[in-house]
Structure 1
């Protein structure tokens, strides 16, 4: 049995659910081992709510989900992995659990209220300003107003014959009753008599008895619409069914992680991905606790399990200029910042003028993405996070009332100031603790307050400065112990936990569905307002990552992405001036010709101009390479995928429809528009396929370069399930569709030559081969890629260099790997049949005298081709960029 590498060489992410179990994954271990992956990277495996497709709605932290096979199946999977010298990295969810039936901890809180042993596990505000809720948990789960739901029989008393207890049935879900209310019910007569006496639909007496019973419970049932205004527990984003955990309490930390630590000690798990680290009260403390616990368990791990610190990465969105805190002692992030950087690198800023003009002329929007994001933040605060805003404002109000000097500050004024700070907050969150803010957080508050000063009331500007002091500008530790310090610390914690979900909901889930200049830049962790990234800036970020977090995860596709990795880079072609001009011409023609397919609704034309333009982009980006327009079943399947995306996109944008109040006439009209577009008689499908064919080869070239950079720049590459072939997926659930592993295993085993792969490039095997070769390269040189340096190579030419060539070296103790890649290839690949490259194609993009300087002398071979050659001086890229627009030279 081969030893499991530490740190991991390469990860492959798999999504587990009832339709893809741990035993299903065990059957694919050989495929991933042959591909060159060192670790599988599993979605959450703890028991989730029945039918969960993602595992983030955990109901039991002490069991492996039986729907994916349970712990026995996990042991079978790990045995297969160990036999191939592989490991397992597990995604865990410390921030929240599912708030509903099946979660014994949550049910105990509903039954016992504040006296429950689990009351401190969940982040519940027992001090609600609403006297009907104070001291209870608000459950906004009713589809109708409270009284109407009771009279309709949707809330009723029932009896559990197995336990002998009375329960409250809300629709089909059984909620517990407080123990102190069980005895009076049993004493009131037979089960049938008690149920009849509390039948609210049978008369006012039954209604009054049922209501009186509910008034004695530790929860209050409410209409679902009250959630955004009044919910009294911290949620994951605005999802009522996911309740926040108080991971800052040691007992909670140990209980939630008990099984995880057991699995690590037994050698079943080798690393962890921490979901939503920003939701925790104190990420620094949590990471320290986690690292110390894993270190203590290290000596218990059995032979065959990798030694060394456990691999730990955190899901963290880093804004421009923001850095992961080194004191967290984690290996890095899950790689959203890399996904942004490589995407921007493959976009061309030169196309911004054409695309800006096109977007503005079609949509009528004159604001940039930053202003659109600010507007979305302001809307989201009121529409979705009123309760969180109120809780944060009340915490700050408590800090104000704790001091004599600020007793005249009103709650209303604090709320006004808080809104403006949150609207202009430039990052997901800050991390002030007992020592207050550090320099990075001070910079963040400087930016937020500068923006807030422009929009806050003149009379509130002085309060704005005071609020920044309360939120960590003055270290709580500098204050004497007592109410003032406690109030400041509480306000700071609540504020910091609130900013991340508000930012994510406003930017990722609202503004990114409104701003349509080029959808390929509207991605998690990206600044959609920045179209392109210069090569020098990309190099600088790679050098920085190598110095700070060399084992950071590198992702280009995730379970959270808005568009698949190849969808994005195909659309990136449209940013190149030649392609942008062609795109503007064709989309203008389409809009004019399809005017008669739009219909008038109460909220305007459907689809709106902006929605129609974003639909065209999606059709172009997601069109499968092998889709024949004449294949009616395949075209219908594609249409269904786009229709599902469109309805979700319209609701996320929150302009003419939304999840909470769907505008079905508008949505149906947009569906009808899409169906008419793709109808055979329309003729649009043939034009769509023809336009995709014009940019497809350039998009595929981008996809190959993107994959190569993920496999060769500093960090640990993560390959999301199915993306070993082309990935033209859309947002979830589209990006979680079943994967055809048999086909992938067959093409990998064939090991076709490059010529054959290029001839059939549309089937995805070409991308798989590139991935395989580079994973094998990493296996041959693990130390070079784990800790070797990253050195940008100088591109020497007598002419102005347009920045199309990416060249760098990875080195370790005399060994070298050279990477050459071309970007912005539309000038020679527009209308091409294949992404095949040649010296002629290179010469068309680069000056003839282009040379790469600084390459160590010696014999090299291109692992993505057949060329071997001695390099003794400056390297001519045209000699190596064949057959692909990327070459990886291995010293031999």
Structure 2
């Protein structure tokens, strides 16, 4: 298989398996994608709906159908000339429950487990109670309470001949060192004999082998005699009374794990988590043995031709993403001559490029989603919408200020343990040199916190412990902000931490831990530089074999890794999972990978971004919807229209708030409608939450929904209620996940159901439906513009499951709901998009646009995937309302022309600007691009020659007469 022309992402789980995907393959092929792009296929926690909680990297998930079903799907794809890309999660594994053999072995044998180095566990915790142990923060209440309640129970697994402690679904194996004591507690002669081989065991590898032999004997006894004697022994360790409970407690204290209340994780967890999720443990994939174990299955599947490429999840969680990508590509290329297709999930800040020394095809498309999203917004709406939001929320801060406050809170309340790990790594460096030993832990912790809080990007990517030219501008922004924030007495510590975090190489000989020269060129020492265009390596001059690393350099690299693995989750949790739920100027710019302060982009900026992608990463994915988006692509497209009618929207918000005031809970004084525990004067949902609720309803209201349809309105209300609960908790203002304010949450839900109640059909419901009907045509124009740009811009378009019709989804799990593929298959025909525009509410015009442009991509794969990109000039009175560019490959051309910011131009119900409105507005074609005999792939009509062709211009009144978008080419359908 070659690189993809277009991919279609599927979310697999036990309710949608490989065979379910196989059943829809005819539809996927007819739609025109070249590759399916699957969510993780490895074995995950039972019942996982997403697959990102892998428990076994070596097997294909049986819940998703197993390897046989995967191969059936792959064979059917390959028979159709299609391919398969799979999502891989190398950064973390699921460790909750009882199914991760690596993790269970660690709990059993501690630091001497064969898998002790597979995870980022700090075996030398500063807390004496945790030294040599793994914190297991899985208890629903405090340890003593759960122990006394008998919910922590000692049990025996006869099949494995293993003693373990169980708490709900969580299993923690007892170390065999204690088996002798457990077996002897029964006072049973046979068990006493079986206990003898366990006497004197240690955790050393040889003794682990002895323990396995002793367990075989125990298993054989149980198979013959049953477990009655062992069940009797277990009574001596029951939590039922004080004596046996104390004995159980002492047994637990001797284990290599410490059971703890889940809230302790924030402050005390001694292993790297995925963000703040204590059921996901970070994997040390930078180690060679771990790398091989994590990738064993995908290497085999790739070598055998089952899969054709990989999507790497959360690349920023890895210790060294560049080195990882380099190693992964080299291994895959050793297995097959064909270059592998590799893309990485990477969030890029505004102005931050993807590193060119990463040997990947590009990102999974969040950057493009942001580019096209910003293009849809009218910059004239930014100021009035900001004023309106300030009046509603009482805050006139920019989003950056909101995000900074969120970072401060998240760092203190959710990632305190991760901050502590990074600070302690740096403090250890301080203690090793006489010149720096007086820098205290508190001073180091203080400055590291400020650096992390002000870090403008997810992380940096030093090489050999040193920052390079690409790292320094970002780090310097954080450094300058930290200088303003820390006390003057901490500035010396800040300068020293700057050095330890890669500004200078350690110099042990001088005893000061730092060299004077800044390592500005560190990235040139990274070894082989790798290009991206065709996925093949462009080898730079090879470095000689590296000398053994000094202890000082190892310590500096460790500190840099821990700092980078702090800033990345901090950015995600504070920005995506907190600040984006607090700031509501316009929710269509509150998206993963976006910055709400970067409100709108000009056509020129969009062209520049596309041209850069074409030069650097022509095979990067182009996404407008993902399994992680906050709002569906068509929700965002419709909400963007509000930027064009900002004054009207502000007035509408005020009117709706007044209309619905009687339904507020606890407005000024407690009332019978308020939930117990409500606070007088703190009405629910509150002005900011209410305003964001209205935006959400406007964005996700189906265009064909009648306000009088009680069943469908109720269904919508239930979906929005699930979004609302998540949004309120993520905002962490009046409720949160750690300590939910259920009274407030109940009041907010009651408000939502009240304003959408059937009796409001002539009031708010009708007002809502009428307003949506007014802006929906302009939203549909935006949808078609966004769709065309995704399918014609440089890169590989990615379709998220089901979004070929309306994507009015909200944040997960709403965006992972079952997809009615039968409905979509029935709707797909050969009709041109233009013939479906009149019935645009059924979204068949969107589906047809996708199918026709995918057909163009199949007709000339190189044209739209890696062809040249030519921004085109638009002239005339309405030039600001159009966007145009051309793609060229050899003598083949495609000209893309689209309507934008159409709200003021539309008349009536059709998402199409009347031809006469365009007047003399025209697109100037580049030299060599024919003006005559161009086929419009969206109207399926050939453009007739006109008297203006010698001027090499295309008038919008002609090319946009049937559709608000046009894709013209000198190629015709096959």
TM-score, structure 1 normalization: 0.96
- Residue ranges of structure 2 left out of the alignment (5+ in a row): 187-228, 508-513, 516-547, 667-677
Partner of 1:127: 124
- Please report how far the alpha carbon of residue 206 of structure 1 lies from its aligned counterpart in structure 2 after TM superposition: 0.9
- Equivalents in 2 of 1:36, 1:483: separation in Å? 55
Partner of 1:178: 175
For the 8 Å contact 2:387–2:396, the answer to whether it is kept is no
- Equivalents in 1 of 2:918, 2:94: separation in Å? 54
Structure 1 SS opposite 2:836: helix
Partner of 1:807: 884
Structure 1 SS opposite 2:9: strand
- Please report how far the alpha carbon of residue 592 of structure 1 lies from its aligned counterpart in structure 2 after TM superposition: 1.2
- Is residue 361 of structure 1 aligned with residue 427 of structure 2? no
Partner of 1:739: 819
- Equivalents in 2 of 1:549, 1:378: separation in Å? 35
Range with greater deviation from structure 2 (588-597 or 559-568): 588-597
- Is residue 54 of structure 1 aligned with residue 50 of structure 2? yes
- Is residue 141 of structure 1 aligned with residue 218 of structure 2? no
Match 1:249 to one of 283, 287, 298: 287
Partner of 1:548: 616
Deviations 1:790-842 (A, max 9, x none): 01012234x5x66322111100111110001111000022x731213441243
Structure 2 SS opposite 1:68: coil
- Is residue 878 of structure 1 aligned with residue 957 of structure 2? yes
Pick closer, same or farther for the CA change 1:704–1:476 going to 2, 3 Å: farther
Match 2:431 to one of 386, 401, 407: 401
Structure 2 SS opposite 1:827: coil
For the 8 Å contact 1:402–1:483, the answer to whether it is kept is no
- Equivalents in 1 of 2:11, 2:5: separation in Å? 20
Match 1:220 to one of 258, 274, 278: 258
Partner of 1:338: 368
- Please report how far the alpha carbon of residue 328 of structure 1 lies from its aligned counterpart in structure 2 after TM superposition: 1.2
For the 8 Å contact 1:433–1:475, the answer to whether it is kept is no
Deviations 1:573-602 (A, max 9, x none): 0001xx222211211111112112112232
- Equivalents in 1 of 2:549, 2:58: separation in Å? 38
- Equivalents in 2 of 1:808, 1:165: separation in Å? 67
- Is residue 262 of structure 1 aligned with residue 300 of structure 2? yes
Partner of 2:449: 419
Partner of 1:633: 711
For the 8 Å contact 1:435–1:476, the answer to whether it is kept is no
- Equivalents in 1 of 2:833, 2:458: separation in Å? 45
- Is residue 839 of structure 1 aligned with residue 915 of structure 2? yes
Partner of 2:189: none
Partner of 1:207: 245
- Equivalents in 1 of 2:498, 2:61: separation in Å? 44
Figure out how many residues of one structure are paired with residues of the other and give that number: 869
- Please report how far the alpha carbon of residue 25 of structure 1 lies from its aligned counterpart in structure 2 after TM superposition: 0.3
Match 2:901 to one of 816, 824, 838: 824
- Equivalents in 2 of 1:265, 1:841: separation in Å? 58
- Is residue 505 of structure 1 aligned with residue 535 of structure 2? no
- Please report how far the alpha carbon of residue 530 of structure 1 lies from its aligned counterpart in structure 2 after TM superposition: 1.5
Pick closer, same or farther for the CA change 1:215–1:473 going to 2, 3 Å: same
For the 8 Å contact 1:7–1:786, the answer to whether it is kept is no
For the 8 Å contact 1:9–1:37, the answer to whether it is kept is yes
Deviations 1:169-210 (A, max 9, x none): 1124332110111121111113233222112232x2112100
Structure 2 SS opposite 1:405: coil
Structure 1 SS opposite 2:896: strand
Structure 1 SS opposite 2:435: helix
- Please report how far the alpha carbon of residue 759 of structure 1 lies from its aligned counterpart in structure 2 after TM superposition: 2.3
- Please report how far the alpha carbon of residue 498 of structure 1 lies from its aligned counterpart in structure 2 after TM superposition: 1.4
- Equivalents in 2 of 1:842, 1:337: separation in Å? 32
- Residue ranges of structure 1 left out of the alignment (5+ in a row): 300-307
The Cα RMSD (Å) is 1.5
Match 1:98 to one of 78, 94, 99: 94
Partner of 1:304: none
For the 8 Å contact 2:138–2:170, the answer to whether it is kept is no
Pick closer, same or farther for the CA change 1:158–1:37 going to 2, 3 Å: same
- Is residue 783 of structure 1 aligned with residue 780 of structure 2? no
- Equivalents in 2 of 1:340, 1:497: separation in Å? 24
- Equivalents in 1 of 2:824, 2:143: separation in Å? 54
Partner of 2:795: 715
Structure 1 SS opposite 2:3: coil
Question: How do 1:310-389 residues align onto structure 2 when only pairs under 5 Å count?
Answer: 310-389=340-419
Match 1:730 to one of 791, 810, 815: 810
Partner of 1:295: 333
Partner of 1:689: 769
- Is residue 673 of structure 1 aligned with residue 751 of structure 2? yes
Partner of 1:863: 937
- Is residue 574 of structure 1 aligned with residue 642 of structure 2? yes
Structure 2 SS opposite 1:201: coil
TM-score, structure 2 normalization: 0.88
- Please report how far the alpha carbon of residue 486 of structure 1 lies from its aligned counterpart in structure 2 after TM superposition: 2.6
- Is residue 597 of structure 1 aligned with residue 663 of structure 2? yes
- Equivalents in 1 of 2:41, 2:161: separation in Å? 33
Structure 1 SS opposite 2:735: coil
Structure 1 SS opposite 2:935: strand
For the 8 Å contact 2:386–2:396, the answer to whether it is kept is no
Structure 2 SS opposite 1:524: coil
Partner of 1:194: 233
For the 8 Å contact 2:627–2:815, the answer to whether it is kept is yes
Structure 2 SS opposite 1:558: coil
Deviations 1:263-317 (A, max 9, x none): 0011100010000000000111111110000100004xxxxxxxx3110000001
- Is residue 538 of structure 1 aligned with residue 620 of structure 2? no
Range with greater deviation from structure 2 (345-354 or 694-703): 345-354
Match 2:727 to one of 629, 649, 652: 649
Structure 2 SS opposite 1:875: strand
- Please report how far the alpha carbon of residue 881 of structure 1 lies from its aligned counterpart in structure 2 after TM superposition: 0.8
For the 8 Å contact 2:659–2:764, the answer to whether it is kept is no
- Please report how far the alpha carbon of residue 760 of structure 1 lies from its aligned counterpart in structure 2 after TM superposition: 1.6
Structure 1 SS opposite 2:693: helix
- Equivalents in 2 of 1:649, 1:152: separation in Å? 34
For the 8 Å contact 1:796–1:852, the answer to whether it is kept is yes
For the 8 Å contact 2:420–2:445, the answer to whether it is kept is yes
- Equivalents in 1 of 2:473, 2:633: separation in Å? 33
- Please report how far the alpha carbon of residue 462 of structure 1 lies from its aligned counterpart in structure 2 after TM superposition: 2.2
